[in-house]
C-alpha cells in the first residue's frame, strides 16, 4: 500500500509584506503563531517517522495551492493551520473540511477537533464545512487532494491564547499523533 503524502501549511506568513493574518491579544500575529506551530508539527511528525512537506513562509495561498496540486495526488492530505479571531468572548477550536468531504477528511477533522480542544481545555466548536466559514469558500479547499483547515483557537480570547501559549508543544504533538494515526489505520 502506498503511503499518503502530507503537506502542512502555515495559513498565514511571518514574512514582511505578506498576509500575516489576524492580530490577537497583546499584538500576537496569526502568521507568527501559524509558522511556529507548523514547524513544531513537522518536528513531531519526523519523530514518528512520518515525512511531511511544507510551504515557504512567503507564499500566498494561491501559490501554495499550485504547489500542492503539483506534488500531491487525490489520496494525499493537505493541512492548513490558522488561528481564529472574533469578539473577545468567543473561544474554541474548529476544523473545516471541503463542501464535498471524503470519509477520511471528516474522520481526521473530528479526531483533530476533539483532541485539540481537549488538550487546550477550550470549547469544541466541531467540524464544519467551508460554507460555514466567514468567507464561505476557501481557496485552500480547492487542491486535488484531501484537505483540512484547523482553527486552533481564538487569538482574540485571553484564555484561549494563554492555554495555547502554555501548551503549544503539546498541541503540536497531539496534531502530529492524530495525523500519524489516521494515516496508519488498517
Q: Looking at residue 146, which CATH number applies to its domain?
A: 3.40.630.40
Per-residue confidence (pLDDT) for residue 28, from 0 to 100: 92
Query: In angstroms, rounded to a whole number, what is the distance separating the alpha carbons of residues 33 and 165?
Result: 9
Residue 157 included in any domain: yes
User: What range does the domain containing 86 cover?
Assistant: 6-183
Per-residue confidence (pLDDT) for residue 11, from 0 to 100: 78
Helices (H) and strands (E) in the chain, counts: 4, 6
- What are the φ/ψ torsions at residue 142 (nearest 5 degrees)? -95, -15
Residue 25 burial class via C-beta count within 10 angstroms: exposed 0-12, middle 13-18, buried 19 and up: middle
Handedness of CA 153, 159, 165, 167 (dihedral sign): negative
Per-residue confidence (pLDDT) for residue 41, from 0 to 100: 97
Residue 25 included in any domain: yes
Per-residue confidence (pLDDT) for residue 186, from 0 to 100: 47
Residue 1 included in any domain: no
Residues of the chain with pLDDT under 70: 1-2, 12-20, 56-62, 133-143, 186
Per-residue confidence (pLDDT) for residue 57, from 0 to 100: 62
Q: Number of structural domains, the chain? A: 1
Amino acid at each position: 500500500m502506498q503511503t499518503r503524502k502530507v503537506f502542512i501549511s502555515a495559513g498565514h506568513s511571518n514574512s514582511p509584506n505578506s498576509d500575516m493574518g489576524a492580530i490577537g491579544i497583546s499584538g500576537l500575529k496569526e502568521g507568527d503563531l501559524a509558522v511556529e506551530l507548523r514547524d513544531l508539527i513537522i518536528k513531531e511528525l519526523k519523530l514518528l517517522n512520518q515525512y511531511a512537506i511544507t510551504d515557504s513562509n512567503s507564499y500566498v495561498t494561491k501559490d501554495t495551492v499550485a504547489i500542492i496540486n503539483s506534488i500531491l495526488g487525490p489520496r494525499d492530505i493537505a493541512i492548513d493551520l490558522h488561528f481564529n479571531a472574533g469578539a473577545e468572548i468567543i473561544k474554541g477550536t474548529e476544523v473545516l473540511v471541503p463542501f464535498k468531504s471524503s470519509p477520511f477528511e471528516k474522520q481526521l477533522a473530528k479526531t483533530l477537533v476533539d483532541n485539540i480542544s481537549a488538550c487546550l481545555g477550550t470549547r469544541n466548536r466541531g467540524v464544519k464545512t467551508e460554507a460555514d466559514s466567514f468567507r464561505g469558500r476557501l481557496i485552500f479547499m480547492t487542491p486535488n487532494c484531501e484537505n483540512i483547515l484547523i482553527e486552533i483557537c481564538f487569538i482574540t480570547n485571553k484564555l484561549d491564547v494563554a492555554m495555547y501559549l502554555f501548551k503549544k508543544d503539546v498541541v503540536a504533538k497531539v496534531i502530529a499523533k492524530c495525523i500519524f494515526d489516521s494515516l496508519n489505520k488498517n
